[in-house]
Amino acid sequence: MTPPGPTAPPPPRAELWGGLECSVVQVGPTLRDQFRETGHHDRMADLQAAAALGLTRLRYPVSWERIAPDHPGQCDWSWHDTRLAELRRLGIAPIAGLLHHGSGPAYTCLLDEAFPDKLAAFAARAARRYPWITDWTPVNEPLTTARFSGLYGHWAPHHAGEATFLRMLALQCHAIQRAMQAIRAEIPHARLVQTEDLGRTFATPRLQYQADHDNERRWLSMDLLLGRVGEAHPFHPRLRHAGVPPATLAALHEGIPGPVLLGFNHYVTSERFLDHRTALYPAHTHGGNGQDAYADTEAVRVPAMEGRTGWLPRLREAAARYPGLPLAVTEAHLGCPDAAEQIRWLAECWHAIATLRAEGTDLQAMTAWSLFGAVDWCSLMTLRRNRYEPGSFDIRGPTPRRTRLGDAVHALGHHGRITDEAAATPGWWHRPDRFHSALKLAG
């Protein structure tokens, strides 16, 4: 990995970026397209509304599945041409995402050995089409996608096992590497903006072995892309045992040269607590790993985790894991019908970034995510219930309406601070009534 060079002093505050939920995910025979389900596909005016918030960059797709769904050589760029031209006119720099939680078009999948070459070929076409775009995310959250598609079986190709999870992850990371090589052949100064979920697993002493495994695994996509997975890495033998070819691991061990920015996404559900005392928890939390049965719950609902969760400790861990590399928050969002709670989550993220920047961490931006909301994310799109959660805009009306959260984002974009009174009070993840009742009784 090319070491970071000298940089100018950072501005007094982080940049404000935005993003639209743009997943195209196959669940069984059904293709879920969030741009169509939220209506953004048909609303050009959304981009001007987003620009009015004061954003400097926007995570926006150059979607492989939407542009070349049936054949790699048959591309329809028309929809993307008009939207990206509008962003350029508005002065917002796009961060172009090629694959967002999907398995790719019909002629490939996450277990296709040719997947890296196919994505690289599409990336080259996209870079030739849009040579003015400098920020690229070839694959969003590859580890999270591999978990949901290869470990838990929620999304296509619906596998459930560590071997398929690790092969999917390695293929996606190799695809990112190959895609960036193809993009930089057209745009030499292109920057990789690599996104991944940032969480942590806590556990009772009996289950600490599982927490240790999960906490090493959470870094695996970034470690692979940064050339850190050599033979001494704890996951190297697991990757080999899963069937990842030595040539793939060798290629990934070379890393991706800079410029690279690491983007971390963190949700209130990203931090977990594992407890063998299942009787203390609701039935829906019960599970296990084949060796031990345990409850798996949000860490914020466990009294013993007080003060150990949230944006600040997790971002500190990321900065310590990858010193010298620039970071950003690439999704800040709380799925919740209460805009006041959403504002509190956003404000806590902004405060954590400011704290770390004051300590000298190169944390460049916060991304207000899911600007126009999302549909059925409460079930990871596995259930067709049309449950809509708003973001900075609420689409349930003749035209999208800017929400109270949107007003807070606007205040950040134009004044660098949130003036809404909700930001001064604790979110539900800090209030005593959040704890599981049996845990409170047990002390």
* pLDDT value of position 3: 45
Per-residue model confidence as pLDDT tens digits over 163-195: 999 999 999 999 999 999 999 999 999 999 999
Say yes or no to pLDDT of 441 above 90.
no
Q: Which pLDDT tens digit goes with each residue over 102-139?
A: 999 999 999 999 999 999 999 999 999 999 999 999 99
Among the residue ranges 117-126, 290-299, 401-410, 430-439, the one predicted with the least confidence is: 430-439
Q: Please report the pLDDT score of residue 439 as a whole number.
A: 82
Mean pLDDT of 139-163: 97
Query: For the ranges 27-41, 316-330, 427-441, which has the lowest average pLDDT?
Result: 427-441
When pLDDT is averaged across residues 138-143 and rounded to a whole number, the result is 98
Q: Is the per-residue pLDDT at 343 higher than 50?
A: yes
Q: Check: pTM over 0.85? Answer yes or no.
A: yes
CATH-assigned architecture of domain 16-263+302-442: Alpha-Beta Barrel (3.20)
pLDDT tens readout for residues 374-401: 999 999 999 999 999 999 999 999 999 9
Q: pLDDT of 239-268, one tens digit each?
A: 999 999 999 999 999 999 999 999 999 999
Report the distance separating Cα 323 and Cα 356, nearest Å. 13
Residue 4 confidence (pLDDT)? 46
Domain-wise residue ranges, the chain: 16-263+302-442
Mean pLDDT, rounded, for 304-309: 96
Tens-place pLDDT, residues 10-20: 567 999 999 99
User: pLDDT at position 6, please?
Assistant: 47
pLDDT at 9: 56
Q: Do 360 and 377 contact (CB within 8 A), yes or no?
A: no
Instruction: Tell me the pLDDT of the chain averaged across its residues.
Output: 96
Of 39-48, 75-84, 428-437, which range is least confident?
A: 428-437
pLDDT for position 5: 47
